[in-house]
A and B are shown apart, each in its own frame.
Chain A
Amino acid sequence: MNVISTRQLSKSYGKTVALRDLDLEVPPGEVYGLLGPNGAGKTTTLRLLIDVIRPTHGSIRLFGAQMSPRLRGRIGYLPGDLVLYDRLTGADYLGFCGALREHPDLSEALRLAKRLDLDLDRRTDELSKGNRQKLGIVQAFAHRPELVILDEPASGLDPLAQREFHTYLREYVDGGGTVLFSSHVLSEVEHVADRVGILLAGSLVVEDTVTSLKANAVRELTFTFGEEVAAASFSGIPGVQAAVQVSGTEVRCRVTGAVGELVRTAARFPLLNVTSHEPDLEDIFVHYTEEHSDGD
């Protein structure tokens, strides 16, 4: 039984379609990253799952059941638009959550707060954006939930805290937890997600592992040679979509899939340097948007 299971989950606001026929399956112990640009439907999906908004049609099953107050006790949630009660200290806030969740044991929360270097004695309105985000993360895990749903969890975190959080996320999953999170940063997804779904304009256009997504993405290789080399020498190589002459001694190639054949060809010339531009999310988005519109 999957922890999250949706069937044709859809949400419209008047004539605007925010989410269209989403079939999402997240098995236990998986970290699923929901990627997409702003307005793609990531937050809508997560808010539907947590039951603060209701589907226009389609269904949601969490742990095989419909959402209920009892079920919410097994779930941790971090909203994308995180606002905390500003008159409370971090510790007060966690105490309040603990009481509502009938989980007064704050040991897990304290442990995570310490790892993230978060001071729980300060009022939330005195915290920086990054520290508020840390408190948001801590509260989501405080009651040792079986599933956490996190909307842009790393937003506002400094790199050190991000790394610690990602390590923690791995440990959480190794301990049997399941994670669904959204992001628009590929590097984050790359580090922690087992599987990725890309949402574009309310539709899930692709679902795959990070490695195979990246392998299929367009990347750019720029070669610098010791003598003049014509860009035309590289056209026709499998995977190379375009070869551009940057200068007499410099050629830039756009390539998908394995780069072996391209690099072997380049090595026949007096090659001085290769720079590889990692495919960023935008490239992948562009790639799938094109594919998506081709399919329509």
Chain B
Amino acid sequence: MATELMTKSLRDNRGSTTGWGIALIASVLLQLAVYPAVRDAAGEFEKLLESYPESFKALFNVQQSLASGVGYLQGEVFGFLAPLVLLGVAIGQASRATAGEEKAHTMDLLLANPISRTRLLLDKALAVFTSLALVTVAFGAVLVVGSSVAGLGVPWLDLVWAVTASAVVALPFGALALLVGALIGRPGLAVAIPVGLGLLTYLLDALSPLSEGLRPWRVLSPFHHAAVNDALTGDPNWLGLAGLVVLTAVLVAGAAMAFERREIRA
């Protein structure tokens, strides 16, 4: 019964899951709590924001007036906070999945059990994605209720799509962490490579509206395909999201193949 392994992995990641989850929820609540004050002072903010360089606004996803609910959430929640935490959960836990056990020297004994390496990796992947789902659901619930209380005026379904898109964009980065971990067995690199790529592709997507030269390259960014801003206005990019899910599946399959061949370090 290899689900035992998934349960154990979930339990091992409990600290990370609740830590990230609480950080995200607390930050969202804080942002929602100050929204009424921001809205009332909207005029001042607009003037202030106009003085900011375009690149700065692009970087923090300030697309429209912060006074509108959608604009506020784009800038304060979905622009930076949500991807940071959701990628953090996915990459952090996936990097430890097999590479963590290998580094801790617990892998020899684990592999001596009658489960296949593919099954072992899939169980661990499932645990990572379950943790991500738990944080996402908590984030979504707090956001839907909090937005309604704070009077943001964003339809709840749009919030759900935006939260979903934010989680889906984290999937391929988590899967990449699994793959790197399965290939080289080092959790440090399994964090560094997806984090580096995450930053790079985030910037690519955020800054591409400012540069003609960058624009054609934005198709390389998962953030572009997740299109969280569109999801927040009720227009999720289904094809893009489906593409990210497929990419995740391909990376997880690659991780399983790599792990089947892996020589476990002594």
Chain A residues in contact with chain B, CB under 8 A?
Answer: 43, 47, 50-54, 69-73, 75-77, 79, 81-85, 87, 96-97, 99-102, 139
Contacts and interface: CB of A to CB of B under 8 A. Distances in A.
B212 interface: no
A81 B114 contact: no
B264 interface: yes
Interface centre among A52, A53, A72, A82 (most CB of B within 10 A): A52
22 contacts: A47-B266, A50-B111, A50-B112, A52-B107, A52-B112, A69-B114, A69-B115, A71-B114, A72-B113, A72-B114, A77-B109, A79-B108, A79-B109, A81-B105, A81-B266, A82-B109, A83-B109, A97-B113, A100-B5, A100-B113, A102-B1, A139-B109
Interface of B: 1-2, 4-5, 8, 12, 104-109, 111-116, 119, 261, 263-264, 266
A96 B110 CA distance: 10
Contact of B106 (A69, A83, A100): A83
A100 B264 contact: no
A72 B4 CA distance: 17
Given A50-B111, A73-B114, A84 B106 contact: yes
A66 to B, nearest CB: 13
A139 B113 CA distance: 11
Given A83-B106, A85-B106, A96-B4, A77 B112 contact: yes
Given A43-B266, A99-B1, A100-B1, A75 B112 contact: yes
A63 to B, nearest CB: 13
Say what secondary structure dominates the interface of chain B: loop
B257 to A, nearest CB: 14
A203 to B, nearest CB: 20
Contacts, number: 68
Given A53-B264, A81-B266, A96-B8, A102 B112 contact: no
A-B pairs with lowest CB-CB distance, top 6? A73-B114, A99-B4, A77-B112, A83-B105, A100-B113, A52-B264
A138 B68 CA distance: 64
Contacts of A97: 113
B108 A100 contact: no
B148 to A, nearest CB: 40
A79 B264 CA distance: 13
Given A43-B266, A81-B266, A99-B1, A50 B108 contact: yes
Given A43-B266, A96-B4, A100-B2, A51 B108 contact: no
A100 B4 CA distance: 7
Nearest to A81: B105
B113 A52 contact: no
Nearest to B109: A79
Contacts of B266: 43, 47, 53, 81
Contacts of A87: 12
Contacts of B263: 52-54
B108 A52 contact: yes
Nearest to A11: B263
Contacts of B12: 87
Nearest to A75: B112
Contacts of B114: 69-73, 100-102
Contacts of B264: 47, 52-53
A71 B116 CA distance: 11
A192 B8 CA distance: 37
Contacts of B115: 69, 100
Nearest to B2: A100
Q: Which residue, of A70, A79, A99, A100, has the highest number of chain B Cβ atoms within 10 A?
A: A100
A79 B112 CA distance: 9
A52 B104 CA distance: 15
A172 B105 CA distance: 28
Nearest to B108: A79
Nearest to A104: B1
A239 B30 CA distance: 89
A129 to B, nearest CB: 14
A268 to B, nearest CB: 56
Contact of B104 (A77, A83, A101): A83
> Chain A CB within 10 Å — which of B12, B112, B113 has the most?
B112
